[in-house]
Structure 1
Amino acid sequence: MIVVFLGPPGSGKGTQAKKLSQELNLSHISTGDLLREAVKKQTPLGLKAKEYMDRGELVPDSLMIALIEEVMPKEGGFILDGFPRTVPQALVLEDMLNRHGRNLDKVFLFDLSEEVVVERLSGRLTCSQCGAVYHKKYNPPKQEGICDLCGGKLIQREDDKEEVIRKRYRVYAEQTKPLIEFYQERNKLTRLDAEQDIQEVNRKLLEVLKNGG
């Protein structure tokens, strides 16, 4: 089983992908983690990707596909989290899977309004030392501004500031609209209400995958 997760930042895609990968024994391929790991390990593909990232440019589709192909299990299913983001990327992914005699089974769209995304992300606090993540409303630290785990100072990352989040959301919405239509035409798309709690979203995911609807 091969599935793709689409959704705006803060929609819970990563959390659900981790849960589902354990429940159904699927590999979880997060393109963000993949890039960071390849750069950290200084693999040939990672070094190439770093050149683009250092210039503030998007990593080319061909390079992202090569990275995915490198870690894609030869057997067994996987969840793609963060790719594709555009129709050209979806076509390249389709071609790659065809070359391996495989098909994409399902695409899940995590639906979340801009206002909820802003509330979820702008409340995030990150430890400047150990990287632990808290939330002002949903998961506050025991002592304000201090990490429970290491005592480090909690900060708000630049990309968690409201104006940045709104910009990211609009870019996501603009980029993803044609992709949503692309997968709808292929009868691959299932919408999920990502405003529901984690357990309910997970229950719906499992129901769709096990019953096909």
Structure 2
Amino acid sequence: MKNTAIVLFGIPCSGKGTVGKALFAEFPHIFYHLSSGDLVREAQKARGDLADQIGDYLSRGVLIPDEIMVPMYRGGIASRIASGKFKADSQHLLVDGMCRTPAQAEDLSDFLEFREVWHFTNVPNCEVLRRSSIRAEEEGRTDDTKKAMLKRIKEYWNITYPTLDFFASKNISIRCINAYESKSIVISKMKKYAKVKYRITSEW
């Protein structure tokens, strides 16, 4: 049986992780947030050849290959199910930082049932750079240099954005979110939407 999932999709620094964490914190019985970025940083802390490879890709601002990311993400799901952190029978997985290529989305669809895509849109490149500089300072993100971010922005439009066509071809609902609005407004709107869409009552 496939795990049900919601894809958080958008340009870097569009607020995917922020919303994912907020919904998981507010409705832990309904959602489980799993960020590929968190898994990557875990791998880097473990050190070794894989950590070195990942560090090289990040420093150059290029996408980590699917042959690394897909097994890593699948393993992250499996380990969290085994530990009881992710209850696959009752929680919807909030997929953050994956489905960055059509092929990657196809691979993930082998073990994930995509319920819908939340497309964080309307964030211009200049705003991405502004947000990334703040994030780099606040979180110590070494991969958020201006040079690396410019490459990631270009890869998003050339490689990741066309993945929306894959979802459309599979008749997966795509919900557009105005991610240019303030963080508090976006989170508030998504909480209201989630309550209605997933029939969340005050009992949760």
Instruction: Output the TM-score relative to the length of structure 2.
Output: 0.73
CA separation of 1:77 and 1:158: change in aligned 2, threshold 3 A: closer
* Residue 177 of structure 1: how far off its partner (Å): 2.4
Of 13, 24, 29, the match for 2:27: 24
State the match for 1:40 in structure 2: 45
Work out the CA distance in 2 between the residues paired with 1:51 and 1:160. Answer: 18
Q: Given that residues 35 and 49 in structure 1 are in contact (C-alpha distance below 8 angstroms), is that contact kept between their aligned partners in structure 2?
A: no
User: Which amino acid is the alignment partner of residue 195 of structure 1?
Assistant: Y
Instruction: Output the TM-score relative to the length of structure 1.
Output: 0.70
Work out the CA distance in 2 between the residues paired with 1:125 and 1:50. Answer: 20
Of 71, 75, 79, the match for 1:70: 75
CA separation of 1:156 and 1:2: change in aligned 2, threshold 3 A: closer
CA separation of 1:93 and 1:193: change in aligned 2, threshold 3 A: same
**What do you get for the CA RMSD once the two structures are aligned?**
2.8
Q: Given that residues 40 and 54 in structure 2 are in contact (C-alpha distance below 8 angstroms), is that contact kept between their aligned partners in structure 1?
A: no
CA separation of 1:158 and 1:33: change in aligned 2, threshold 3 A: closer
What is the count of residue pairs matched by the alignment? 177
State the match for 2:53 in structure 1: 52
State the match for 2:195 in structure 1: 210
Percent identity at matched positions?
A: 29
User: Which amino acid is the alignment partner of residue 116 of structure 1?
Assistant: E
Work out the CA distance in 1 between the residues paired with 2:168 and 2:71. Answer: 26
Question: Gapped runs of 5+ residues in structure 2?
Answer: 82-86, 199-204
* Residue 7 of structure 1: how far off its partner (Å): 1.4
* Residue 51 of structure 1: how far off its partner (Å): 5.2
Q: Given that residues 31 and 82 in structure 1 are in contact (C-alpha distance below 8 angstroms), is that contact kept between their aligned partners in structure 2?
A: yes
Alignment of 1:41-190 (within 5 A): 41=46, 47=48, 49-50=50-51, 52-53=53-54, 56=57, 59-72=64-77, 73=81, 75=88, 76-97=91-112, 103-111=113-121, 112-123=123-134, 126=137, 132-133=138-139, 159-161=144-146, 163-185=147-169, 186-190=171-175
Work out the CA distance in 2 between the residues paired with 1:166 and 1:54. Answer: 17
* Residue 110 of structure 1: how far off its partner (Å): 0.9
Listed one character per residue, the Cα deviations across residues 6-31 of structure 1 (whole Å, up to 9, x for unaligned) are 11122121111110111121222111
Work out the CA distance in 1 between the residues paired with 2:131 and 2:24. Answer: 24
Work out the CA distance in 2 between the residues paired with 1:9 and 1:121. Answer: 8
Asked which structure has the greater CA Rg, the reply is 1
User: Which amino acid is the alignment partner of residue 11 of structure 2?
Assistant: P
